[in-house]
Each structure stands twice: as C-alpha cells, then as structure tokens.
Structure 1
C-alpha cells in the first residue's frame, strides 16, 4: 500500500466558525486508532483538517497502530474510543466477545488493482507469476478467491506490502496486485492497470469502517453521533471537492511526490472507493463477510448484519 507507519497525533482544526473555535479549546477529547497512515483513510484526515469534528464539539486525535488488529485492540483496552480498519476485524473480535462494532463506512469500494505490462482480461493471469502481499492481506485473499472461483491456477510470489510492482518491473513476475499509491508509482514507470477489483464490486464492499465498543455507545451515544456526523461531512466534501481533497492528501503524505498523491486520490474518487454515505448496507457487509467465510475465519450463518452493524448513527447523520 506504500503506507507510512509513523504514529501521528493531530487535533481537529481548520473550522472558522465561533462554535468550531470554542470546540477546539473545550470540546470532548476522543482518540481514533487507525490501522495505518493511508490514502484509504483520507475521509478521516479531511474531517480533521476541515474542522468537521471540532464543529461537532470534539477534539479528535489519531494514533497509528500499524495493523487493523492493533487498532481494534486499542478500542478494547480503552486507549482509543474509535478505530479505523477493516470492519471484519471488528466482527471477528465481536464474535470472540470483545463487543466492538462498525458504526460508519469510510471505504465501500475495493481499492485493489492488478498491474502488468499489457492490459488484458483476468483470464490472462492463468499460469502466470503474480506478485502479491504476504498474508494476511485483503488484496491477496481477493486474488486467491477470484482464481479459485474462475478455476484458474497461477504462481503467487508473496512480497512485502507496497513492493508488489517491483518484481513486475524487474521481469520476475508478469503481474502485481497493488493498492494506492503503488498503482500510480507503477503506472509512472510504464505499467498498466490490467484489472480492477473496484470495478468488480461497484462500491458494494465494506472495506474500511469506523468502529467502537458497545459499552462506549451505551455510555456516550452523543459522542458517537458527533463523530459519525463529522465523517459524513467529510464524505460529502470529498465527493464535491476533489481538488481540495487532493491538497489535504498532499499535506498528509509529504514524503510522496504530489503527482502520485493526486493521481491516487483521483483514481479512488473515480473508481468510487470512498463511501458517499456513512451507512454500511447489508450487501456491503455481506460481500466482505463472504471473503471471511471463504478463508474459514467465520462459519456461514455464524454472524449477521443485524447482529454486528450499528446503523443508527449513520442513518441519523446530518
């Protein structure tokens, strides 16, 4: 994914109203643990940069946990009130009794692409060498399931996350399965996008979500609503102001070339990766759940949308 692993603490800022100013100095303090510093999580950064949380009366700090499991663990331990990662990690934790649930969508497209030297059909992957991330990685699992469903075999070369294009460029693999910004880095070096999982799922996959504990919801429903309201405003901003979104992304990723950041953000907006509503739908949840069932992590019928996803706050977002 080309992710930056440094832990970052930021406060909500950028709102110009008197209410926002007052909130910044006297608002309720909450912490969100993100799995990684990632272009995927741009809605969170936009909400902080634009002061959407501050205008709701919240002082929001983010910490980087370096894995989805660690992000959820922060909520379980109480060191963070919210987490941002794959909602299936929260689902698995909830099954085990941790009582953590998704409350808002952030990414409901599948931000995974396959790159190679020549464009072609997915069937062209049969028998080829494909570089993909070392498991656990959703990109690798999606590839493995797709190959199995199409009764195809390929030679998978497992590499570090964010380096999947390197073997292709070196001639050691024909294809690489990549996230952003690796897609744009690969394209800039002459590779082409061969296949898009984003197009396959058409914004119908619960890929990244805001999660919190059932206990926190019971004790602080107002805070949860305010947080989800801030995310909702951010999603609307991204949909309506791509250029402003790009500028925020460039600030969040100062070590990446601005051209790469711009291209990555525009691709994800164009491919409808970012959610346009914080509501996680039954079909989005079901599509993500099916992958966990394929992996054997969750038994068919073990969990349901109604049991896991709390839609109250997303549906009431304003």
Structure 2
C-alpha cells in the first residue's frame, strides 16, 4: 500500500468517526431541574402549558415537578438543596432575607398577579356580603402565608376583622382544608381551582367570592432559587424563564377551552369541563401575568399586606429579594 493510499484510508476513517460522533451529538441530553410547587392547581396554567406544549423541552430542560404543599415546605426544600427552584408566594423569600441568611433566595420570575383562592360556603348565597361571615368560622390556611394574609386583608377591607368579628381557624393544614370542610369543620373555606368548582359540582360547597378579584393586583406566586444557584446557573435560569414566558403568552391569547385541553395532561383525574370552567374563572379575574418581570409597586403592596397582618416587622428591599435582570433579558433579547 502506497503512502498516498494509506493516507487516504486514514482520512476516510477519521471522517467516519467524526460523522458518527456528530450523529450521536445531534440531540444533547436534557438538563433536569427539580421544581417544587406550593400546590397543584389550574391557577398555574401557564406553567403546565409550558410543560405540555414542549416549551421546556425546546430549551433542553426536563422538569421534575413535585408538590411541596405549602410555601414554608417549598422554601425548606430550596434551602436544603432538595430542589433547584421553588414556586410559592414571594413572602417566603422576604422572610428568609430578613433572617439575615447570607445565601438568601431571590425571586427571578412571577407567574400570577392575583390571589387564586375562592371563598366557599355551605349554602348558596346569590347576594353574598362579607359581613355575613360575622360570628362564623373560616378555614384560611397557614398563618403567615400569602393566602391567609390576603384573605385577612380582604375581610378587613369589607369591615370584618378576623379575631374579633370572625374566627380564622388556622389549625388545619393547607392541604387538608377542603377535606376538613366537607367533614363538617368550619362555616367557610378557601380553595383554588379546580377544587373550588369540584366542591360546587358535588354539592359540598358554593363559590361565594373571588379573593383575587377583591384584593386587586399582588405578586402572589413566583419562582425563586438561592442567590448562589442563580449566579452559577444564569443561562439555565434564563432558559427556564423563557419557557415560562412562552407559557404566559400562550395562555393570554388562548380560550379557556384551549387552555383546558392543553393542561389536561397535568390533571388526569379532573373532568375537562371542570378544567375549562376553572380556566375561565382565572381569565375572568386576570390572575395570570403576561410577563415574568415583577413590578416594584406590586411588591410593595405585598409588604403592606404582610405588615397589616402583623407578620412583617421590617420591609425587605425590592432590589435584594427580586432579581428581574434575567427576566428582562428574556423578554427584551
């Protein structure tokens, strides 16, 4: 074999190896992100749309979603490294910052802009007024959490003072409230969709008011991670935000029926008509953000609600707790 022939063979072999390697590398392995959500609800439709429409997959991300069943538990999971990203009320990040923790959590994307709970009563009341709850017992969730504090804020706005005019029974865990209510505990309970509509469908309760409609705009649920994690994984976090932003935009332009059909895979045990009704309820009160960027004025309103609830002794700076930089890069590339 001549030198030229040997050289040709070597070049051919090298090309075959390179071609094979390129073929194997066409689709890099997805990066898995562990995300803990505060509860599982149609309230978070943009997130499920992003999952089911393949927006996370488009970014090379595989989301491992778990139900933390409470903001305090979600935050614990983030701080201990059990999950990468937490999804709950921003109040959890405010509390941690005020504790003086060096590697505190930063909120990097907002998903919902109103309270997603509905007040449920035992009787149907066509002309419900919050004053009708005086002398009664309400199951509000965990004291110190956004659901509790927003509910308290709304009651006070209607001239009903918890602890004086009405009893807020916070002894029942958030995940157990509707079960306790249907079992006979309390006169009223708050519930997210599709649970609220399901209770009504089964004749076990009646939707009387939207807490989000009554409270106005407030940064209710958002994504957060430790400051160090965000700093080390900026590109990864931007990919996550980009998928969420696409989910927000898709939901904003879609009908409740379209939303129900897309998120159905995330709620396999829920009737499609119930999902559609739930989506319509949330679109009706403009519960979903159209941008992941949190507004400073909305953040300040949250701190006002927390202060009035007696849960916040010192306000936390917006530019410390909220990191909008990556979200702004996503929506204005």
- TM-score normalized by the length of structure 2: 0.77
Residue 246 (structure 2) aligned to one of 230, 233, 236:
233
SS at match of 1:316: helix
> Structure 2: which 5+ residue stretches go unaligned?
1-24
CA gap of 1:214–1:291, structure 2 versus 1, over 3 A, is: same
Could you say which residue in structure 1 is the equivalent of 2:151? Answer: 143
Could you say which residue in structure 1 is the equivalent of 2:126? Answer: 119
Could you say which residue in structure 2 is the equivalent of 1:71? Answer: 74
Residue 229 (structure 2) aligned to one of 212, 216, 224:
216
SS at match of 1:292: helix
Could you say which residue in structure 2 is the equivalent of 1:309? Answer: 322
In terms of mean alpha carbon deviation, does 205-214 or 281-290 score higher?
281-290
- TM-score normalized by the length of structure 1: 0.80
Give the deviation of 1:194 after TM superposition: 2.9
Give the deviation of 1:81 after TM superposition: 2.0
> Structure 1: which 5+ residue stretches go unaligned?
1-21
Residue 44 (structure 2) aligned to one of 41, 46, 50:
41
Conserved 8 A contact 1:118-1:191: no
Residue 82 (structure 1) aligned to one of 81, 85, 91:
85
Could you say which residue in structure 1 is the equivalent of 2:195? Answer: 182
| CA–CA distance in structure 1, aligned partners of residues 34 and 180 of structure 2 | 39
| CA–CA distance in structure 1, aligned partners of residues 97 and 243 of structure 2 | 25
CA gap of 1:143–1:81, structure 2 versus 1, over 3 A, is: closer
Conserved 8 A contact 1:101-1:309: yes
Give the deviation of 1:232 after TM superposition: 0.2
- Confirm whether residue 290 of structure 1 aligns to residue 295 of structure 2: no
SS at match of 2:209: strand
Give the deviation of 1:101 after TM superposition: 0.9
SS at match of 2:230: helix
| CA–CA distance in structure 2, aligned partners of residues 64 and 126 of structure 1 | 31
Give the deviation of 1:157 after TM superposition: 5.0
Q: CA RMSD in A?
A: 2.9
Conserved 8 A contact 2:117-2:190: yes
Give the deviation of 1:150 after TM superposition: 4.4
| CA–CA distance in structure 1, aligned partners of residues 185 and 84 of structure 2 | 44
In terms of mean alpha carbon deviation, does 151-160 or 67-76 score higher?
151-160
Could you say which residue in structure 2 is the equivalent of 1:262? Answer: 276
Give the deviation of 1:296 after TM superposition: 2.9
SS at match of 2:261: helix
In terms of mean alpha carbon deviation, does 154-163 or 285-294 score higher?
154-163
CA gap of 1:112–1:67, structure 2 versus 1, over 3 A, is: closer
Could you say which residue in structure 1 is the equivalent of 2:7? Answer: none
SS at match of 1:109: coil
Give the deviation of 1:228 after TM superposition: 0.6
Q: CA offsets per residue over residues 82-109 of structure 1, 9 Å max, x none?
A: 1111111122122224410111011111
Larger radius of gyration: 2
| CA–CA distance in structure 2, aligned partners of residues 53 and 281 of structure 1 | 25
Count how many residue pairs are aligned between Structure 1 and Structure 2: 295
Residue 140 (structure 2) aligned to one of 133, 140, 146:
133
| CA–CA distance in structure 1, aligned partners of residues 42 and 27 of structure 2 | 25
Q: CA offsets per residue over residues 150-169 of structure 1, 9 Å max, x none?
A: 44312445555467678888
| CA–CA distance in structure 2, aligned partners of residues 76 and 309 of structure 1 | 17
In terms of mean alpha carbon deviation, does 167-176 or 22-31 score higher?
167-176
Could you say which residue in structure 2 is the equivalent of 1:15? Answer: none
Could you say which residue in structure 1 is the equivalent of 2:264? Answer: 250
CA gap of 1:80–1:163, structure 2 versus 1, over 3 A, is: closer
Conserved 8 A contact 1:131-1:165: no
In terms of mean alpha carbon deviation, does 232-241 or 244-253 score higher?
244-253
